[in-house]
C-alpha cells in the first residue's frame, strides 16, 4: 500500500502562452509533487522553456491558472513569485558578471536590512549584522559546491560549468520551496554534470521540490521521480521513464530519433 | 588668478562633481541611460530661482514673467531645488522606466530632454521663455556683500559642503546591499527579478535619488551665476556628463569625481587657454568664431569613443569587492593538491 498522494505544491491548469498566434504553450496542465524531482522532456521547440518561464512569471500566461502552495499566482510578477519560494534558473548563463561570485550569492539573499534605500542610508552599523550572517551562509554553500576559492573573482570570468553552479547556489540563497531548473546541465563538463546531479539529489533528500527541463534522457532517468513529455506545446504523456518507454507514440515522438 | 576666477572654477567643479556622482548612481551603478539628466538639474535651478526671486511684478524684475517669486531665505531655495528635481523624476520615471526596454528608455529620455527644452523656450509666461531668468538672488546676499572676496569663499565653502554631503549619501548607497542589488539589476535585469528583486521599484528609487541630487546641483549653480535660460541646459550638456562618468570610471564614485574634473572642468579650461590665432612659421591662421567650441564637441566625442574602445572601465574602474576572510586562492589550491 502506498501512502495517499501528497497535495501538489505547484499546479498548472490549461496554461497557454501564445506569441502572435504561435501557440508555444498550448494548454498544459501538470501537478508537481512536493519533495520530488519532476522532469520535463521533449524535442526542441516543444515549449518546455517557455512553460517554465510562464510558471516563474518571466513571461505572462496568455490564459490558464497557476497555483503555488495553495494560492493562485497567475497574475503576480516574477519577483513576488521568487519571494514566495518559487525560484527559477536560466538556460543561458545569467550571472551578474561584474559582481563577484560571493556577491552573486549575497544579492539573492532576502532579509538584509541594508537592501533598501533607507537601510543603505542608515549605514553599515544598521545592516552589518545581517550582512555577516548572510556572508557566512553564502560561504557554507560555496564550500558545499567546492567553489570557496573563487568567491572574490568576478562571476563573468567563470567557466560555463561554474556559472551553472553559481546560478544554482544563488537560487538556493533564497531558501526556495520549489526550484525550476532550465537545462542545468547544458554545456557543462561531464564531471561537473555528475557534481550537479549529486547536489540535486542531496537537495531532494533535504525536502526541496524540483521541476527541471532536461535533454539528456539518461540523466532524467537517474534523477527524476516522474517525467512530463511535451511536444508542440502540449503534454503528450507523463509518468516514470520506465512507463513512458512502453508508450508507442511517445517513443515515436521523442525517445528515439 | 583672482578670487573671482577661482570661485568660478571651484563652484563649477563642485556642480559638475555633484552632477557626475548623481549620473554615476543612475548610469554607472544602475545602468539607467538617463539622457535627460540635465533636465533635472534645470528643474532644480528654475525652482531655486523662482523660490528666491521676488514676484515678477516687483520693481527691477518686471521685465521678465515667471511663476512664483516667493523670496524665500536660504537654504530653502536649495532644498526646494532638490525637491523639484526629485518630484520631476516621478512622472518621467513612471512613464519611461516601467515598460520600456533599456535602449528605448535612453531614446525616450533623450526626446524628453529636447521636448522639455522646447516647451520651456516657447512657453514664456511660465519661466520667461528663451530669455530665461535673470537677477536671481544669491544665498544670504543681504548678510554678506556678494561683491566681496569673503562672499566668494563663502560660496566655495557652501558648494564644498554640498559635495561632501552628496558624496556621503552616494557612498552609503553604493557600498550597501542595496547598491549591490542595483548593480545586479544593471548586469541582468531578468535574473534579478527571478531572485525577488523588483526592478521597476529599484530603478524608480535611484532615478528619484539622482533627480534630487541633480536638482541640488542646479540650485547651487543658479545661485552663483544668477541666471538660468534654456540655452544653458540643452541636451548636449548631458553628453558631457556621460563622457565624464565614462572617462572617470562607471560605477565608481571617485571615478565620477575625477571624470568631472577631467572632462567638464578640464575641457572648458583648456580651450580657454587656446590662443585666438596660430602662427605657423609666418602663416597666421585665425580660426573662425565658433570653431573652438565646435572642436570641443569633436574632442568630447573622440574621448568617449576612445575610452569605450581602449579603456571601457575608465580611469578608476568599479572596485572589486573582496570580503573580509576571503580565502587566498593560492592557499586553497595548496590544500586541495596536498
Cα–Cα distance for residue pair A214/A232, rounded to 1 Å: 16
A35 falls within a domain: yes
Q: Are residues A69 and A190 in the same domain?
A: yes
Q: Are residues A205 and A90 in the same domain?
A: yes
pLDDT (average), residues B78-104: 94
Cα–Cα distance for residue pair B92/A121, rounded to 1 Å: 24
CA-based nearest residue in chain B for residue A151: B326
**What is the CATH classification number for the domain harbouring A213?**
3.40.50.300
Which residue(s) pair with A86 in the sheet? A178
Contact call for A94 and B333, based on CB within 8 A: no
CA-based nearest residue in chain A for residue B209: A117
A166 falls within a domain: no
Cα–Cα distance for residue pair B14/B148, rounded to 1 Å: 20
- Of A125 and B279, the structure prediction assigns the larger pLDDT to A125
Q: Are residues A16 and A73 in the same domain?
A: yes
Q: What is the pLDDT of residue B314?
A: 92
| Cβ neighbours, 10 Å, residue A123 | 15
| Cβ neighbours, 10 Å, residue B151 | 19
Q: Residue B25, Cα to own-chain centre: how many angstroms?
A: 11
Contact call for B191 and A171, based on CB within 8 A: no
In A, residues 213-252, which contact B (CB 8 Å cutoff)? none
| Cβ neighbours, 10 Å, residue A205 | 9
Q: Please, are residues B58 and B71 in contact by the beta-carbon 8 Å criterion?
A: no
Chain B: nearest CA to A114, how far in angstroms? 5
* Cell numbers found for residue B22: 548623481
Contact call for A130 and B209, based on CB within 8 A: no
pLDDT above 80 (res B336):
no
Cα–Cα distance for residue pair B258/B250, rounded to 1 Å: 11
Q: Are residues A121 and A232 in the same domain?
A: no
Q: Are residues A181 and A223 in the same domain?
A: yes
Confidence of residue B335 (pLDDT cuts 50, 70, 90): very low
- Residue B128 DSSP SS3: coil
Q: Please, are residues B252 and B23 in contact by the beta-carbon 8 Å criterion?
A: no
**B-chain residues near A120 (CB < 8 A):** 172-173, 176-179
Q: Give the tens place of pLDDT for each residue, B185-204.
A: 999 999 999 999 999 999 99
**A-chain residues near B169 (CB < 8 A):** 121
Chain A: nearest CA to B334, how far in angstroms? 11
CA-based nearest residue in chain B for residue A152: B322
Q: Are residues A103 and A91 in the same domain?
A: no
CA-based nearest residue in chain B for residue A170: B195
Q: Please, are residues B211 and B89 in contact by the beta-carbon 8 Å criterion?
A: yes
Q: Residue holding cell 531645488? A: B81
**B-chain residues near A112 (CB < 8 A):** 177
* Cell numbers found for residue B203: 530603478
Among candidate residues B84, B175, B28, the one with its CA nearest the CA of residue A121: B175
Q: Are residues A108 and A90 in the same domain?
A: no
Q: How many distinct structural domains can be found in chain A? A: 2
pLDDT (average), residues B133-145: 92
CA-based nearest residue in chain B for residue A104: B184
Contact call for A99 and B197, based on CB within 8 A: no
pLDDT (average), residues B131-154: 92
**DSSP designation for B29:** I
Look at A72-81, B77-86, B297-306 and tell me which has the smallest mean pLDDT.
B297-306
Confidence of residue B279 (pLDDT cuts 50, 70, 90): confident
* Cell numbers found for residue B236: 548636449
- Of A189 and B206, the structure prediction assigns the larger pLDDT to B206
* Cell numbers found for residue B11: 563652484
Enumerate residues 6+ apart whose C-beta is below 8 A from B51: B68, B70, B72, B76, B77, B80, B81
Q: Are residues A81 and A186 in the same domain?
A: yes
Polymer length of chain A: 257
CA-based nearest residue in chain B for residue A90: B191
Contact call for A114 and B178, based on CB within 8 A: yes
**DSSP designation for B70:** -
- Of B252 and A241, the structure prediction assigns the larger pLDDT to B252
Domain interval for residue A86:
10-95+175-255
Instruction: Provide the whole-model pTM.
Output: 0.91
* Cell numbers found for residue A18: 501564445
Q: What is the pLDDT of residue B113?
A: 97
Q: What is the pLDDT of residue A143?
A: 92
Nearest to A99 among B175, B187, B332 (CB): B187
Query: Residue B182: what are its φ and ψ, rounded to 5°?
Result: -65, -45
Query: Cis link prior to B75 (omega < 30° from 0)?
Result: yes
Q: Give the tens place of pLDDT for each residue, B38-69.
A: 999 999 999 999 999 999 999 899 899 999 89
Q: What is the pLDDT of residue A93?
A: 86
Contact call for B198 and A77, based on CB within 8 A: yes
pLDDT above 70 (res B333):
no
**B-chain residues near A171 (CB < 8 A):** 195
Confidence of residue B337 (pLDDT cuts 50, 70, 90): very low
Cα–Cα distance for residue pair A213/A225, rounded to 1 Å: 13
Q: Please, are residues A176 and A86 in contact by the beta-carbon 8 Å criterion?
A: yes
Out of A157, A190, A209, a domain closes at: A157
A169 falls within a domain: no
A170 falls within a domain: no
Q: Please, are residues B316 and B252 in contact by the beta-carbon 8 Å criterion?
A: yes
Q: Please, are residues A88 and A52 in contact by the beta-carbon 8 Å criterion?
A: yes
Strand ranges, E, within chain B:
278-280, 283-285
Question: So where are chain B's domains?
Answer: 3-239
Among candidate residues B157, B151, B200, B202, the one with its CA nearest the CA of residue B178: B202
Q: Are residues A151 and A35 in the same domain?
A: no
Among candidate residues A17, A30, A55, the one with its CA nearest the CA of residue A180: A55
Query: Is some CB atom of chain B closer than 8 A to the CB atom of A76?
Result: no
pLDDT (average), residues B71-78: 95
Among candidate residues B207, B253, B154, B261, the one with its CA nearest the CA of residue B33: B207
CA-based nearest residue in chain B for residue A92: B191
Cα–Cα distance for residue pair A148/B128, rounded to 1 Å: 63
Cα–Cα distance for residue pair A122/A128, rounded to 1 Å: 11
pLDDT (average), residues B6-14: 94
pLDDT in tens, chain A (257 residues): 455 567 899 999 999 999 988 999 999 999 999 999 999 998 888 999 999 999 999 999 999 999 999 999 999 999 999 999 999 999 888 999 999 999 999 999 999 999 999 999 999 999 999 999 999 999 999 998 889 999 999 999 998 889 999 999 999 999 999 999 999 988 788 888 888 898 899 999 999 999 999 988 888 989 999 999 998 999 988 988 888 888 877 767 665 54
**B-chain residues near A148 (CB < 8 A):** 327, 332
Query: Is some CB atom of chain B closer than 8 A to the CB atom of A22?
Result: no
**DSSP designation for B139:** T
Q: Please, are residues B199 and A150 in contact by the beta-carbon 8 Å criterion?
A: no
Q: Are residues A85 and A182 in the same domain?
A: yes
Query: Is some CB atom of chain B closer than 8 A to the CB atom of A60?
Result: no
Cα–Cα distance for residue pair A81/A108, rounded to 1 Å: 14
Q: What is the pLDDT of residue A2?
A: 53
Contact call for A131 and B177, based on CB within 8 A: yes
3-state secondary structure chain A: CCCCCCCCCEEEEEEEEEECCEEEEEEEEEEECCCCEEEEECCCCCCHHHHHHHHHCCCCCCEEEEEECCEECCCCCHHHHHHHCEEECCCCCCCCCCCEHHHHHHHHCCCCCCCCHHHHHHCHHHHHHHHHHHHHHHHHHHHHCCCHHHCCCEHHHCCHHHHHHHHHHHHHHCCCCEEEEECCCCCCCHHHHHHHHHHHHHHHHCCCEEEEECCCHHHHHHHCCEEEEEECCEEEEEECHHHHHCCHHHHHHHHCC
Cα–Cα distance for residue pair A109/A115, rounded to 1 Å: 10
Q: What is the mean pLDDT of chain B?
A: 91
CB contacts < 8 A (A, B): 127
Sign (positive/negative) of CA torsion B190, B191, B194, B199? negative
Q: What is the pLDDT of residue B298?
A: 84
Amino acid at each position: 500500500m502506498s501512502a495517499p498522494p501528497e497535495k501538489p505544491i505547484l499546479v498548472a491548469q490549461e496554461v497557454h502562452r501564445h506569441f502572435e498566434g504561435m501557440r508555444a504553450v498550448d494548454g498544459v496542465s501538470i501537478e508537481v509533487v512536493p519533495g520530488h524531482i519532476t522532469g520535463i522532456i521533449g524535442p526542441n521547440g516543444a515549449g518546455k522553456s517557455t512553460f517554465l518561464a510562464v510558471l516563474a512569471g518571466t513571461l505572462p500566461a496568455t490564459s490558464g491558472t497557476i497555483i503555488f502552495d495553495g494560492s493562485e499566482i497567475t497574475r503576480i510578477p516574477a519577483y513576488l513569485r521568487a519571494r514566495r519560494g518559487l525560484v527559477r534558473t536560466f538556460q543561458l548563463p545569467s550571472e551578474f558578471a561584474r559582481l563577484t561570485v560571493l556577491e552573486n550569492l549575497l544579492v539573492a539573499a532576502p532579509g538584509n536590512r541594508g537592501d533598501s534605500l533607507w537601510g543603505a542610508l542608515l549605514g553599515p552599523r544598521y545592516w552589518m549584522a545581517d550582512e555577516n550572517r548572510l556572508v557566512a551562509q553564502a560561504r557554507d554553500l560555496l564550500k558545499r559546491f567546492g567553489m570557496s576559492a573563487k568567491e572574490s573573482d568576478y562571476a563573468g570570468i567563470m567557466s560555463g560549468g561554474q556559472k551553472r553552479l553559481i546560478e544554482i547556489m544563488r537560487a538556493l540563497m533564497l531558501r526556495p520551496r520549489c526550484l525550476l531548473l532550465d537545462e542545468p546541465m547544458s554545456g557543462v563538463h561531464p564531471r561537473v554534470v555528475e557534481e550537479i546531479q549529486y547536489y540535486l539529489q542531496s537537495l531532494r533528500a533535504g525536502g526541496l521540490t524540483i521541476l527541471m527541463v532536461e535533454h539528456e534522457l539518461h540523466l532524467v532517468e537517474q534523477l527524476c521521480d516522474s517525467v512530463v513529455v511535451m511536444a508542440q506545446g502540449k503534454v503528450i504523456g507523463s509518468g516514470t521513464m520506465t512507463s513512458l518507454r512502453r508508450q508507442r507514440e511517445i517513443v515515436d515522438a521523442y525517445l528515439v530519433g | 588668478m583672482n578670487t573671482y576666477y577661482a570661485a568660478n572654477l571651484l563652484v563649477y567643479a563642485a556642480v559638475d562633481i555633484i552632477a557626475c556622482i548623481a549620473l554615476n548612481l543612475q548610469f554607472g551603478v544602475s545602468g539607467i541611460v538617463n539622457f535627460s539628466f540635465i533636465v533635472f538639474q534645470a528643474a532644480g535651478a528654475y525652482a531655486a530661482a523662482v523660490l528666491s526671486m521676488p514676484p515678477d511684478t516687483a520693481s527691477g524684475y518686471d521685465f521678465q514673467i515667471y511663476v512664483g517669486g516667493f523670496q524665500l531665505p536660504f537654504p530653502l531655495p536649495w532644498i526646494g531645488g532638490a525637491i523639484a528635481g526629485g518630484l520631476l523624476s516621478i512622472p518621467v520615471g513612471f512613464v519611461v522606466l516601467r515598460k520600456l526596454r533599456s535602449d528605448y528608455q535612453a531614446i525616450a529620455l533623450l526626446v524628453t530632454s529636447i521636448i522639455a527644452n522646447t516647451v520651456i523656450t516657447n512657453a514664456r509666461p511660465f519661466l520667461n521663455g528663451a530669455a530665461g531668468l535673470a537677477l536671481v538672488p544669491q544665498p544670504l546676499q543681504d548678510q554678506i556683500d556678494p561683491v566681496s572676496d569673503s562672499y566668494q569663499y563663502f560660496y566655495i565653502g557652501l558648494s564644498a559642503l554640498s559635495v561632501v554631503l552628496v558624496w556621503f549619501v552616494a557612498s552609503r548607497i553604493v557600498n550597501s546591499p542595496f547598491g549591490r542589488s542595483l548593480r545586479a539589476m544593471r548586469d541582468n535585469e531578468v535574473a534579478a527579478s527571478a531572485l525577488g528583486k523588483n526592478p521597476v521599484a529599484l530603478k524608480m528609487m535611484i532615478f528619484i535619488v539622482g533627480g534630487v541630487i541633480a536638482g541640488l546641483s542646479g540650485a547651487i549653480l543658479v545661485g552663483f551665476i544668477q541666471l538660468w535660460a534654456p540655452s544653458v541646459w540643452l541636451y548636449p550638456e548631458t553628453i558631457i556628463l556621460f563622457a565624464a562618468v565614462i572617462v572617470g570610471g562607471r560605477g565608481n564614485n571617485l571615478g565620477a569625481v575625477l571624470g568631472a574634473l577631467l572632462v567638464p572642468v578640464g575641457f572648458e579650461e583648456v580651450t580657454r587657454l587656446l590662443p585666438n590665432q596660430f602662427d605657423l612659421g609666418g602663416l597666421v591662421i585665425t580660426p573662425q568664431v565658433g570653431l573652438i567650441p565646435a572642436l570641443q564637441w569633436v574632442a568630447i566625442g573622440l574621448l568617449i569613443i576612445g575610452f569605450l574602445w581602449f579603456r571601457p572601465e575608465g580611469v578608476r574602474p568599479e572596485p572589486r569587492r573582496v570580503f573580509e576572510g576571503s580565502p587566498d586562492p593560492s592557499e586553497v589550491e595548496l590544500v586541495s593538491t596536498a
